[in-house]
Amino acid sequence: MGTIHLIDRYSRQVAVIGREGQERLSRAHVAVVGLGGLGTLVSMYLVGAGVGELTIIDYDTINITDLHRQLLYREEDIGKPKVEVAVKRLRDINSAVRVRPVNEALTSENAEEVIKDVDVVVDALDNWLGRQVLNEAIVRLRKPLVHGAVNGWYGQVSTIIPGKTPCLYELVQAKSLPQCVGYCPVVGPVVGVVASIEATEVIKLITGIGEPLINKLLIIDGKNWVIDEIKLSRVENCPVCSRYLKEK
């Protein structure tokens, strides 16, 4: 990364994370799984921050009901594949970032192939079935995962390090948001709060600065502005961790 580019574009950020932190970001590869409310905003923040490479994964098309919170899209984009619109807009934000679109659903057949070369994975999915597929892949590959979820006025965030923290399977058993059936009702700005925290967690993991939400579940009540932090601990008989971590 050239000196002029680094100082001019990222000067406000370099003042906080330092030149070395910015260089680490420029070498990092992050995958964002899901390009809905959380995924679009997380992607925008990471591209703006100067992450070197971003893989974005989603198979869906843009619907009018998406637009109140998925701020990367416009009315003219309705009906278009999310990844096709997102890759263009993200490159417009920062042409120096390599954005790789994957216009597929994440499945047990392709999950490991999609995320095998990334440094950090972001969970921006809207259903727990998809999250369990992602969970098995990140545990088996031992990839750090930043998890976020939103339901109504409420959100949650946690950072998962396979082998050191509970995985997503264990998190579902803890005090977490109710699982959505059919669709998740959400308040747009609450999605923005959770996405901002997720993006911040990614930056902390890559730069090594600050204390990520490891073994912690952050619960955000946007209606009453109450934020709780729940301590988490691993479950010895977790079927995912006990199976895949022993394979290494």
Query: What value does the mean pLDDT of the chain take?
Result: 92
116-170 residue pLDDT tens = 999 999 999 988 889 999 999 999 999 999 999 999 999 999 999 999 999 998 8
pLDDT at 237: 86
The answer to whether 140 and 132 have CB atoms below 8 angstroms apart is: no
Domains assigned to the chain: 3-247 (3.40.50.720)
How many of the other CB atoms lie within 10 Å of CB of 176?
Answer: 19
For residue 183, pLDDT over 80 is answered with: no
Average pLDDT, stretch 200-218? 97
86-120 residue pLDDT tens = 999 999 999 999 999 999 999 999 999 999 999 99
Lookup: tokens for 220: 């955000």
CA distances from 155 to 103, 126, 149, 151, 242 (A): 27, 12, 6, 6, 28
How many of the other CB atoms lie within 10 Å of CB of 24?
Answer: 20
The answer to whether 201 and 195 have CB atoms below 8 angstroms apart is: no
